[in-house]
Amino acid sequence: MAAINQATASNASGRDNAKLLQRMPFWSALLLCTLITALCTWALTRHWNAPKPLTQADINAAVLHTLNTQDLPSRAARAAQLIGPSVVRVRTQDEDKKNPQGEMQDSGVGSGVVISDDGVILTNLHVVQGAKRIRVTFADGLESDAQVVAVQPENDLAVIKASRLPDDLQPATLGSSQSLQPGDEVVAVGFPFGIGPSVSAGVVSGLNRQFGAEGKSIMRGLIQADAAANPGNSGGPLINMAGEVVGIVTAILNPTSARTFIGIVFAATIESASQGMGISPF
C-alpha cells in the first residue's frame, strides 16, 4: 500500500512540474535555459584554462631568453644613469682686468654633486677658492649663481649652495666607503676640461691612501681608483654600482707636467665630508 502511495505522489509531482512549465512564458523558459548554458560554459572554461603555477624551470628559461635576446645596459651605465641628474658643472669667474668695464671672465671649471633638495652641492675647495663668482649648471640646463657655505681644507672639500633650483631637482644618494674593497667597480662622473657630463669606469686600486701636491697639506684616508679623471673632474662624485656616492674626486697623480690622467685618481671619502660638514652619508 505504501508503494502505491509513493508512486501516486511521484506521478502527481511530475504532472505539477509539467503544468508549471506549461504556464511559464516561452521567453522566461528560454532565458532560464540560456543562463544554465552560460554557467556550464563558464565552469568548463575556468577548469580548462586555469593557469599552471610557475616553476623554477619556467623562471630560468624566461631569464635566459631575455639575456639572449635583449641588449642590457652595463652595471657602469646603470650606475651613471642613477647619479646623472645630481651632477652639476661648476664654473668660476673673476674680473677681467684687461676690460675697463670690469666684466667677468671664466677662470676655471670643475664638477659637483647635489646632496640635498634645497640646492646644497658638494665639490672641491680648490675648484671654488678665491672665485669672485660661482656659477653652476644643473642636469636640466638651468644655470644659477652659488655661494660657498662651508669648507674643509684638510680634505680639499667645499659646500656651495645654489640660489636657483630646477623644479625636479634630484639629490644624490650618499653611500659608504667602508664596504669598498680593492677591485670593486666604481664610476666617476664629471666635466673633464669642461666636457660633459662625462663618465669613466674603473676599479678601486687601493684604500686609505695619502696624497699632497707640492706646497699643500697631505690629505689622508683617500680612495685610489683607476677610473679616468682629468682637470675639470675635480669635485665630481665617485660612485659604486648602486649609484651611491662613496667619494669626491679630488686629485690625479701627475709625475710630469702633462696634467693628464696616467692611471691614478684620488677621492676623498664621503665619510670625510660628513664628519666635517654635518652630512649624513648613509
Catalytic residue numbers, as ranges: 126, 156, 234
DSSP secondary structure code for residue 54 in this structure: P
Grouping H, G, I as helix, E, B as strand and the rest as coil, residue 89 is strand
- Bridge-based pairing of strands 133-137 and 87-95 is antiparallel
Q: What is the DSSP string of 174-194?
A: B--STT--TT-EEEEEE-GGG
Query: For residue 17, which phi and psi values (nearest 5 degrees)?
Result: -65, -40
The Cα diameter of the chain in Å comes to: 133
Name the residue among 171, 227, 179 with its Cα closest to residue 204.
227
Contact in structure between 161 and 121 (CB atoms under 8 Å): yes
Name the residue among 204, 152, 154 with its Cα closest to residue 182.
204
| Separation between Cα atoms, residue 4 and residue 223, nearest integer Å | 104
